[in-house]
A and B are shown apart, each in its own frame.
Chain A
Amino acid sequence: MKLKTLIAPALAGLAAALIGVSASAHHSTAMFDWGKEKKLEGTIDKFQWTQPHTFIWVKVPGKGGKEEQWGFEGMSPSWLGRHEWSSRSLQAGQKVSLDYYPLRDGRQGGFFVRVKMPDGKTLEALPGGPGRGPPPPSAASGK
C-alpha cells in the first residue's frame, strides 16, 4: 500500500499530461492555487449537491460587522457520494472549519478540500490529496 501511495500520484500526473484530462472533471484547476491549502471558519449558508460541481456557500463575519459570503466549488455529487458524503452532510446554520485551495485572483472562494463539522468529525473531499490519489481504505471499495 505504501508503494502504491507513492507511485499513484506520480503516474497520475504523467497520465493526465498525456491523455488530456484535468484533475477536475470538466475544467482546468487554473483559477485555483491548487495544493496550497488555506483555512476558513464560518457558518454554512447553503450546500448545493449539484452537477457538475457541489458548492458550499459560507457566511463569515467581515470587517466592520458586515457579513461576507464565500463560495467553494467541490467535486461532483457522484465523487463525494462514493467517499462518505451525502446531500445531507452539511446543513445551513452549522459552524464549520473549511480547508480549501484559494482562488488565484483573491476573490472570496476556492475549491473545498475538507470540512470539520461542529461535532469534530472531518469530511474529506479529496482523500489522497490534490492529485486525487488513493482514497482511504474505508472508501476504496465504494459503498
Chain B
Amino acid sequence: MKYTLVPATLVAVAVTAAMLAGCNNAANAPAPNAAAASEAAKPNPYAELNKLPDWSGVWEPARFAGRPNTPPAGAAGAAPSGPPAPPKLTPEYAAKYAAFQEKNRKTPGINFTTQVANCVPPGLPSSMNQPYPFEFLFTPGRVTILIETYSMVRRVYLDGQVKPEETDASYQGTSIGHWEGDTLVVETTNILPETSPLQGIIGHSDQFKVTERIKLEDPETLAIQTTVQDPTIFVEPYTTTSRYARHKDWHIYEYVCAQNNHDSVDEHGNAGFSLERKPGE
C-alpha cells in the first residue's frame, strides 16, 4: 500500500466540497492513524530495485547461441577464458571419473547416466547449463531464476528470511545471495545427494556447496562463475565459467517433460528409446 501526502489545504477543500454537496461521508472517514503514518515513512522496497543492473530478457547458453564461451572483447575484469583445468579429485572419485572418461572416449555419448531421461530434473549446477534459456525476476529481497528446461525455479533469498539449516534438501538447493556491486553472489547448499556435481559423477555428500558469481560482462553477455566444493569429491574447490547470450525479444516456453517422453534410462544407466505411440496419437 502506498500512501501519498496530501496538502492540508486540498483536504480542507475536498471536505468542504463534500459537505456542500450534501454528502457527509467524509466526516465519517477514519483519520489517518499513527501506524499508517509510520508505514508511509518507510521507503517502498520496490524502489530499491531501480539500483540493480538490467538483466532483463532471456539468457541462452553461449554455445547454443553460436558464441564462444569466452569473454567479450574489451570486457573489464572478465573471468579468465580458455579451457578450465580438470578438477582435482579425491582418490575414490578420481577413479570413478577416469573410468567415466575412458568409457566416454570409447563409446562417445552413450554414458550419460543421470535420471533426467526419466524426466527427473537435474540439480544445481547442471540446471544452469541446459540447452534452453532462463530469465531473472527481481523482487524485494529475492532473485528468482526461471529455467525453461524442466520448468525449474530457483529462489535466491537476499533478505535472511530463509536459513539453509532450516530447509530440506531439494534439486536446486537452498540459495542465499547478496550483491557485491553489480555482481550477484549466490551460495547454495542442501542440494539433493543423488544429483550430479560434475558429469561422470553421480551423487555427493551433504557438504556439497555451489557458489556462483553472476554479472554482466557486456550488455549482451552474462557470465556465471561457478565453484563447486565437497571435500569427499574435490581436493580443492573447482571453478568454471559459463557465458550466456541475451535475447530481449524471446519468451520462455512451458516445458512439461512428461507430456510426450519417449526416452528413458534404466538402473544401470543404459539409455532407452521407445517407438511406441500412445493410443489415438
Contacts and interface: CB of A to CB of B under 8 A. Distances in A.
A53 B260 contact: yes
B257 interface: yes
Interface residues of B, number: 59
A26 B253 contact: no
Interface in B210-238: none
Contacts of B122: 20
A51 to B, nearest CB: 5
Most-contacted residue by chain A among B63, B69, B83 (CB, 10 A): B63
Nearest to A20: B199
Interface in A74-118: 76-79, 81-82, 103, 107-109
Contact of A28 (B110, B149, B257): B110
Main SS of the interface on chain B? Answer: loop
A8 B243 CA distance: 12
A121 interface: no
Interface string A26-37: 111111001000
Contact of A20 (B70, B126, B150): B126
B117 A134 contact: no
Interface string B12-30: 0000000000000000000
Interface residues of A, number: 54
Contacts of A22: 109, 112
A78 B256 CA distance: 12
Interface in A8-35: 8, 11-12, 14-31, 34
A17 B199 contact: yes
A142 interface: yes
Contact of A48 (B199, B271, B281): B281
A59 interface: no
Contacts of B256: 51
A40 interface: no
A7 B242 CA distance: 15
B178 interface: no
Interface stretch (B48-56, B128-136, B154-162, B169-177): B128-136
A76 B130 CA distance: 12
Given A21-B129, A142-B247, A29 B273 contact: no
Most-contacted residue by chain A among B129, B198, B252, B256 (CB, 10 A): B129
B130 A128 contact: no
B265 A76 contact: no
A21 B275 CA distance: 24
Contact of B275 (A52, A71, A134, A142): A71
B119 A26 contact: yes
A22 B277 CA distance: 25
A76 B112 contact: no
